[in-house]
Amino acid sequence: MKAAAKTPRRPAVKKPSNPSLKDPVGVYCRVRPLSRPDQECCIEVINETTVQIHPPDGYRIFRNGEYRETQYSFKEVFGTLVVQKELFDVVAKPLVEDLIRGKNGLLFTYGVTGSGKTHTMTGSPGDGGLLPRCLDMIFNSIGPFQAKRFVFKLDDKNGVDVQCEVDALLERQKRDAMPVPKTPSGKRQIDPEFADMINVQDHCKVEEVDEDNVYSVFVSYIEIYNNYIYDLLEEAPFEPIKPKWNNCNTPVRNGDFIPPQSKILREDQNHNMYVTGCTEVEVKSTEEAFEVFWRGQKKRRIANTQLNRESSRSHSVFIIKLAQAPLDADGDNVLQEKEQITLSQLSLVDLAGSERTNRTKAEGNRLREAGNINQSLMTLRTCIEVLRENQMYGTNKMVPYRDSKLTHLFKNYFDGEGKVRMIVCVNPKAEDYEESLQVMRFAEMTQEVEVARPVDRPLCGLTPGRRFRNQAFREELSRKLEMRGGPINGETEEQSVSEMFLQNFPPLPSCELLDVNDDQTLPKLIEVLEKRHKLRQMLSEEFAKNVLAFKTMLQDFDSSIVSKENYIQGKLSEKEKTIAGQKMELERLEKKIKTLEYKIEILEKTATIYEEDKRNLQQELESKSQKLQRQASDKRRLEARLQGMVAETTMKWEKECERRVAAKQLEMQNKLWVKDEKLKQLKAIVTEPKNEKPERPSRERDREKPVQRSVSPSPAPNAPPVRLRHRRSRSAGERWVDHKPPSNLPTETVMQPHVPHAITVAAASEKALAKCDKYMLTHQELASDGEIETKLIKGDVFKTRGGGQAVQFTEIETLKQESPTGRKRRSSPSNPDPPEGAADSEWTDVETRCSVAVEMRAGSALGPGYQHHAQPKRRKP
């Protein structure tokens, strides 16, 4: 045997409902005992809330040996040994308590044909079912507080009114004058077979009953047959009728009774469904109510089928309505205001059993009845499924209540306010396995539907305990009257009052005359009578005065009452208008509240979904954060290892670089010394040529020696113009790139830089660099004294590994032009003041050594690093 498995369900979404507003449908399961001990059982009670169903042996063989047990959970499960009282205390008693507190309720039995639904609802002789026990509990609770008959009167719109005592008395007299309805045989039908059903000796009642209210119970009994509603309490006439003809042209006779007419459903002003024209009987005891029920039960349609000897072919609905209204402030009469009347109802429904026609072998009318029963039960199941889906998943599908009269009648219970309880009756025999399986699934799904919790009845605002205070007052008044010789055995109160007045008169003396000569008795009697006469006259006068004063007071009181009535009527009309406006405002606000509640439910559902997504994302984020932390720790360990390796490698390269830099510095110093010597020789040739060879100074002395300025002699006044000549380049024979930007200006001096075999360009290009091995850039800028300063930046061109050309700058020559009138040269012994008519300009070569070789590729070098400033026009001396 395999392990028991739970029913597979759809993934449930947590419904964000407020538990104080809605309650789930209460579903209970009852297992009937087997009819024979040798029958195979397929249902087993596991515990108080779980029942297990397993396929029978033949079903396993037919299904290729598949064997799986399934468990279903309900609010409570009742086994085969449960008694009717225990079932009533758990299921129906809370509904009766809510009925007396002014709340609605629905209780229906559901199951396969022959599963014990009618027995559960009606009971058997000596063991009453739920219906008689509900009636007994109601009348045990409200028995001392019932109103007289016809004080409450139901209207045709599912409402109730309160009649005055006179109208109620006339109604009672009319009822008493009516003949008792009889059967065609002339005798009243009595059912002693079921007389024991109403003899419930439990004496169960509701503890907290409002004793300042008066109550009245009305019952009605209907059936839904072939999707038509019929009144089972309607009195059919007994006169014979003409035969009707069906579609086959054959007469259809119904005996001596006119067939009942089907009723229609309507909706009242409170959006509750009711049957129009349904007979509602006011009952005052359990016996009377159950007699009415049994009178309708005899008209219910039943038939003999292969599954059940007395199978119900219709759904029966027994409705108990309880009307209640508070007493007035004196605790004597019922308040006439309709707003203070509370009407609640409890519907006890015995559904017809679902069945399969291949098992019942039904034909004709039985087949049509079975089809209508199954169709209505299928509609009920569809409505429950749509309600469940709308509540659990936030959808807004239309519930098909109108597809069946059964579901249309129950609409106000599922959409309105009221508790709903369902008893699932199952037969454990193996032949009903498949039907019981479908019933179990539907019943377990019904538990997930929530119904609005009924609201509490509003208080009337009067002082509690009015009834008992009125009774105590009457008892005390009767006791006082008896003590004062009050009315006994039907005497009126006026007689007792007159006797009290007579006791105030002086007593009469003895009137017996014993002697003829007695002259004292008569005078005494005459004296007493005169006193009594005077007292009577005085009382009469006082009474007349009191009557006159009372009449005057009554007239004044009447006039004041008329004026007050007019004033009150005016105020009442104003108040009624105000109340009408407030009612309209309340209706508008109620509609708005319902809309907002619906929106709140949708937002709560959305918030729940978002919270679930948030939790999932947080979990995913935490897992990814942990993964990232692990990766970061691994990365830190790897970085630590790499840093150790890099530090070791860096130390090695630093040492190697220091060694290479030292060698390179030594090499550069040697090259720099050679270039210094060449430069000195060139300066000596250009400026002050001498025949003797200069002494080779040391490197330190040459650095400390000041630069000698050479002043060219000024030409004579009548001398011919001097012919401009170019400076001779130190590197004649080499191929140069002479880079002169477009902003370059000629200085027009004697000393002009001239490079033979040079390619003059305005912008550096890779093509020109590829043909030469030297590079010279002419750069001009404005000096601090306002003259033009020209710099010749020179370098070597060499090829790079990538196939391009690079320039490494080696030296800078500076050519500076000074005006003789701009400033005077500082005189010194070695440099005397120049004579008048000296040369217009003098050239000073300042050599600047580049400490860092700049390496740039051709095409991208020389551009951004060197900006050529626009030169001002040369100022003439």
Quick check: 869 pLDDT over 70?
A: no
Per the model's pLDDT, the better-predicted residue between 60 and 221 turns out to be 221
Mean pLDDT of 593-613: 92
Quick check: 37 pLDDT over 60?
A: yes
> How far from the centroid of its chain's Cα atoms is residue 475's Cα?
59
Q: 133-142, 364-373, 398-407, 796-805: which has the minimum mean pLDDT?
A: 364-373
What per-residue confidence (pLDDT) applies to 838? 38
346 near 107, Cβ under 8 Å? yes
Q: What's the mean per-residue pLDDT of the chain?
A: 76
- What's the pLDDT band for 198 if we cut at 50, 70, 90? low
What per-residue confidence (pLDDT) applies to 705? 45
Highest-confidence segment of 64-68, 97-101, 122-126: 97-101
Quick check: 839 pLDDT over 60?
A: no
Mean pLDDT of 12-39: 73
What per-residue confidence (pLDDT) applies to 195? 59
759 near 781, Cβ under 8 Å? no
Burial (Cβ within 10 Å: 0-12, 13-18, ≥19) of residue 32: buried
What per-residue confidence (pLDDT) applies to 19? 44
Q: Specify the DSSP element, H or E, that contains 228.
A: strand 228-231
CATH 3.40.850.10 positions along the chain are 22-174+195-239+258-452
221 near 316, Cβ under 8 Å? yes
Beta strands 5-6 and 70-73 are parallel
Distance CA 331, CA 324 (A): 15
Q: 241-250, 346-355, 632-641, 803-812: which has the minimum mean pLDDT?
A: 241-250
57 near 40, Cβ under 8 Å? yes
- What's the pLDDT band for 346 if we cut at 50, 70, 90? very high
Burial (Cβ within 10 Å: 0-12, 13-18, ≥19) of residue 360: middle
* Binding-site residue ranges for ATP: 111-118
What per-residue confidence (pLDDT) applies to 180? 56
Distance CA 278, CA 268 (A): 14
Quick check: 492 pLDDT over 70?
A: no
Per the model's pLDDT, the better-predicted residue between 585 and 199 turns out to be 585
844-856 confidence digits (pLDDT tens): 333 333 333 333 3
What per-residue confidence (pLDDT) applies to 7? 41
| Count of residues making up the chain | 877
Per the model's pLDDT, the better-predicted residue between 74 and 362 turns out to be 74
Distance CA 262, CA 277 (A): 10
Assigned superfamily of 22-174+195-239+258-452: Kinesin motor domain (3.40.850.10)
Residue 603: CB atoms within 10 A of its CB come to 12
Burial (Cβ within 10 Å: 0-12, 13-18, ≥19) of residue 391: buried
Q: 87-101, 255-269, 325-339, 342-356: which has the minimum mean pLDDT?
A: 255-269
Q: 261-275, 315-329, 736-750: which has the minimum mean pLDDT?
A: 736-750
Residue 678: CB atoms within 10 A of its CB come to 11
- What's the pLDDT band for 307 if we cut at 50, 70, 90? very low
What per-residue confidence (pLDDT) applies to 530? 85
What per-residue confidence (pLDDT) applies to 711? 37
- What's the pLDDT band for 506 if we cut at 50, 70, 90? low
Quick check: 499 pLDDT over 60?
A: no
Quick check: 254 pLDDT over 50?
A: no
Per the model's pLDDT, the better-predicted residue between 283 and 750 turns out to be 283
What per-residue confidence (pLDDT) applies to 94? 93
Quick check: 203 pLDDT over 70?
A: yes
- What's the pLDDT band for 858 if we cut at 50, 70, 90? very low
What per-residue confidence (pLDDT) applies to 242? 44
Mean pLDDT of 460-470: 74
Highest-confidence segment of 23-37, 302-316, 480-494: 23-37
Q: 74-78, 160-164, 703-707: which has the minimum mean pLDDT?
A: 703-707
What per-residue confidence (pLDDT) applies to 750? 64
What per-residue confidence (pLDDT) applies to 670? 87
| Phi, psi dihedrals of residue 306, rounded to the nearest 5° | -70, -20
What per-residue confidence (pLDDT) applies to 264? 92
What per-residue confidence (pLDDT) applies to 319? 96
Phi-psi region of 168 (alpha: psi -120 to 50; beta: other; left: phi over 0): alpha
CA distances (Å), origin 569, targets 565, 573, 574, 614 = 6, 6, 9, 64
Phi-psi region of 520 (alpha: psi -120 to 50; beta: other; left: phi over 0): alpha
713-757 confidence digits (pLDDT tens): 444 444 444 444 444 444 446 788 888 888 787 776 666 777 777
Distance CA 814, CA 445 (A): 103
What per-residue confidence (pLDDT) applies to 281? 94
What per-residue confidence (pLDDT) applies to 872? 36
Residue that the structure tokens 């029966």 belong to: 316
DSSP code for 88: I
- What's the pLDDT band for 364 if we cut at 50, 70, 90? low
What per-residue confidence (pLDDT) applies to 628? 93
What per-residue confidence (pLDDT) applies to 82? 92
Highest-confidence segment of 303-317, 555-569, 671-685, 858-872: 671-685
Quick check: 63 pLDDT over 60?
A: no
Burial (Cβ within 10 Å: 0-12, 13-18, ≥19) of residue 617: exposed
Quick check: 488 pLDDT over 60?
A: no
Quick check: 30 pLDDT over 80?
A: yes
Mean pLDDT of 189-197: 55
Distance CA 68, CA 4 (A): 7
The CA-based angle 794-798-799, given to 5 degrees, is 150
Does the pTM exceed 0.75? no
Mean pLDDT of 156-176: 84
Distance CA 389, CA 256 (A): 51
Quick check: 694 pLDDT over 90?
A: no
Mean pLDDT of 171-191: 60
Q: Which two tokens stand for residue 856?
A: 């740039």
Quick check: 225 pLDDT over 80?
A: yes
* Binding-site residue ranges: 111-118
Mean pLDDT of 674-693: 75
Q: 92-106, 315-329, 347-361, 474-488: which has the minimum mean pLDDT?
A: 474-488
What per-residue confidence (pLDDT) applies to 333? 81
395-415 confidence digits (pLDDT tens): 889 999 999 999 999 888 888
- What's the pLDDT band for 432 if we cut at 50, 70, 90? confident
Per the model's pLDDT, the better-predicted residue between 604 and 185 turns out to be 604
What per-residue confidence (pLDDT) applies to 196? 58
Q: 92-96, 196-200, 788-792: which has the minimum mean pLDDT?
A: 196-200
Mean pLDDT of 594-623: 92
What per-residue confidence (pLDDT) applies to 605? 92
Quick check: 2 pLDDT over 70?
A: no
* Amino acid identity at 9: R
Residue that the structure tokens 């306010």 belong to: 417
3-state secondary structure of 274: strand
| Phi, psi dihedrals of residue 377, rounded to the nearest 5° | -70, -35
Per the model's pLDDT, the better-predicted residue between 809 and 517 turns out to be 809
- What's the pLDDT band for 815 if we cut at 50, 70, 90? confident
Mean pLDDT of 85-102: 93
What per-residue confidence (pLDDT) applies to 453? 79
Distance CA 160, CA 143 (A): 20
DSSP code for 720: P
